[in-house]
Structure 1
Amino acid sequence: MVIGSKDRLAEFADHLCARFAVEQRGPRRIVPAGKGSVGVVWRLETGAARYAVKEFLWGLQESEVDREVAFRDLTADAGIRSPANIPSVDGGYLVRLPPEPDGRLVRVYEWLDGTPVRAGQVPELVGEVLGRMHALEAPPVNAPDPWYSTSPDEATWSALVATASRAGADWTGELVAALPRILDLAAVTAELPTDTPRLLHLDLQPSNLLMVGGQLAVLDWDGTDTGSPERELGFVLAHWHLVDGAVDAPGAARMVRGYQDSGGEARLHGLSSFGMRIATHLNYVLCQAELALDTDADPATRHTALQRTRRSLARLPSRPELAALLHAGQRRA
């Protein structure tokens, strides 16, 4: 289904209403609500009822969705706020748009109205949410995804530089200048986690939290997977309290206090505690850079990937910054 015209949007809304268990309370309307690296978000209105619709740009397995739904429901039972998953009329949660079998996959969720949360805000509440998730000790259901733990090796980066140079990419110099820091950070991820792996959210960054009625609501559970609680703690700490090279030491200490006071048992032991933050950042840089160089991708996609590549290269953390954040997190105000 190619979405764009008014008629196509109406067809899109009709298809969703026919395939998902949504309330039919009035005229149907669907409007764009946002776009991320994995999909496009729409708002579906059926009279007074409203829903969030995610149209995925990449493939997705039913088993991945089932894992995410189960973990989200487990945390909801523990009192953590999040949008409910809306099932299809067949009882599943994933539906393919026409024309099948090549149409994009979509999911539908409860729509939540709230206030966006910025990095550095409400550190105790962020820590509390993470601590309550970890206290559930949800058992892993699969092996960890290397995306969260393993950084690309030096040969991969050398190949990327060569490809960018041959293509005449004007950002090649930025990549070459960043290589020493990239390789230094990659060395930090070589140390494997030693704590017990759990089923985790793995993407608790500011864009995935919303303040709803004085309570934090957790969004975007698509990354739910097996991981290290210690490294998720480091990941969240770095996303919230290390921004553009500035370490928010008081906020970091308050976040860790909220985490521990709500039952979180992970502890920061060294720079390797930030291994997930480093690995995901470097893998993201590589993924976006390769997409920016992909001549088979459409121009708009390549342009967006280029912007993301440059922004991610400019925001690489350093060892001294991570060391300062580690010290702040270990102090626990």
Structure 2
Amino acid sequence: MDLSRLGTPTGPMIRVHGGFANRMYRLDTDQGSFAVKELNLVDRRWPYRAGDVFRFERAAFAAGIPMPEPISAGPHALVHRWVDGEKLPEAPVPPAYAFEIGEILARLHALDVAWPHGSAEDPPPRDWPELAERATATGQPWAAELASQVGTFLAIADFVDTCERPGPVVLTHKDIQPWNLLVRRGRPVVLDWELSGMLDLAGELGSTALSLAKGPGFDDIRPAIFRAVLDGYVAGGGALPPPGPSWFVFMVGGWLGHTRWNILRCLAGVEAGTGPDLALSHASVRDGVRGLPELFGRLPELEALVR
């Protein structure tokens, strides 16, 4: 990566651990501090639209969306100006924070930015029996849990494949989750825009509101926090889509694909040069194998949050 345009370094580039898909570094120069994200090009789950995402980010930044300033985007790396802030704790966010996230989404969806790509998704994976067999044969630490949930994972794939999505479809961030948010002076900062694209509105709202309204697992879901996101969306000029399971199908399908992707990295058994560390992939698999069946079983309860 040629980072010379960012100025003269005042120290070595420092790895910032914890990314679920790519690798992040902090670079301090005489022109400021920058977040340099090295893109995983080895086993991406979909093509990365660097130029289109950069245009969308620039439009969002110009519109005052609280986010790091996008500096450059190329085929191998993304650069943003570094923003200091606190990570969100693994707990329901304060109501005012949830409300502001809803407002941010409404403002984001109102931007007039051309997007030359559709919203097509890959079919949900159905090779869970084969993956469980390979996990058992290679002695993966989560193999028994995966094998016991094969039927549930196939049922989840059926749900993702058949659930109707009533629309509208919007251009949006697609991944406003606690790990992609900071707290700065009590207010949100939205990070990690590389998944941006077209998405059914219900899926965006359901995924965002649920992730902000709960702590670890699904035993502590705060309906008032969930509704605060939706109230903020309406206050920001947005209109809510009709209630139904489509509010949660994007979250379920995304987690399903993410779990499979990490399973394949674990089955390879080697530390890849890009993307998450192998230990993080194992942790992601364990979370998916345990959490997805619980999420799927609670869908009727979750649907009540939007009625």
TM band (smaller chain): 0.7 to 0.9
1:279-294 aligned at under 5 Å gives the runs 279-294=253-268
What is aligned with 1:29? 12
Q: Distance in 2 between matches of 1:256 and 1:160?
A: 38
Q: Distance in 2 between matches of 1:240 and 1:139?
A: 29
Q: Secondary structure at the match of 1:239?
A: helix
**What's the C-alpha RMSD, in Å, of the aligned pairs?**
2.7
Query: Structure 2 vs 1, CA of residues 313 and 110 (structure 1 numbering), >3 Å: closer, same or farther?
Result: same
State the Cα distance separating 1:209 from its structure 2 match. 1.2
What is aligned with 1:276? 250
What is aligned with 1:249? 223
What is aligned with 1:71? 56
Q: Distance in 1 between matches of 2:298 and 2:194?
A: 29
For residues 214-273 of structure 1, the C-alpha deviation after alignment (integer angstroms, 9 at most, x for no partner) is 432211001012211111111112222244022211111111111111122242521122
* Code of the aligned partner of 1:305: S
Does the CA contact (< 8 Å) of 1:30 and 1:45 recur in 2?
yes
What is aligned with 1:212? 184
Asked which structure has the greater CA Rg, the reply is 1
Does the CA contact (< 8 Å) of 2:226 and 2:305 recur in 1?
yes
Q: Secondary structure at the match of 2:117?
A: coil
Q: Secondary structure at the match of 1:318?
A: helix
Does the CA contact (< 8 Å) of 2:209 and 2:225 recur in 1?
no
Query: Structure 2 vs 1, CA of residues 31 and 319 (structure 1 numbering), >3 Å: closer, same or farther?
Result: closer
Aligned-residue identity in percent: 22
**Does residue 102 of structure 2 align to residue 130 of structure 1?**
no
For residues 165-189 of structure 1, the C-alpha deviation after alignment (integer angstroms, 9 at most, x for no partner) is 2223342210022234323333332
**Does residue 123 of structure 2 align to residue 143 of structure 1?**
no
Query: Structure 2 vs 1, CA of residues 49 and 318 (structure 1 numbering), >3 Å: closer, same or farther?
Result: closer
State the Cα distance separating 1:307 from its structure 2 match. 2.2
State the Cα distance separating 1:54 from its structure 2 match. 0.9
**Structure 1 alignment gaps of length 5 or more:** 1-11, 88-92, 96-104
Q: Give the 4+ runs in structure 1 shifted more than 6 A.
A: 60-63
**Does residue 202 of structure 2 align to residue 230 of structure 1?**
yes
**Structure 2 alignment gaps of length 5 or more:** none
1:33-44 aligned at under 5 Å gives the runs 33-44=16-27
State the Cα distance separating 1:124 from its structure 2 match. 0.9
Tell me: higher relative CO, structure 1 or 2? Use CA pairs within 8 A at least 6 residues apart. 2
Q: Normalising to structure 1: TM-score of the pair?
A: 0.79
For residues 118-145 of structure 1, the C-alpha deviation after alignment (integer angstroms, 9 at most, x for no partner) is 4521211121212221233655421225
What is aligned with 2:282? 306
What is aligned with 2:80? 109
Q: Normalising to structure 2: TM-score of the pair?
A: 0.85
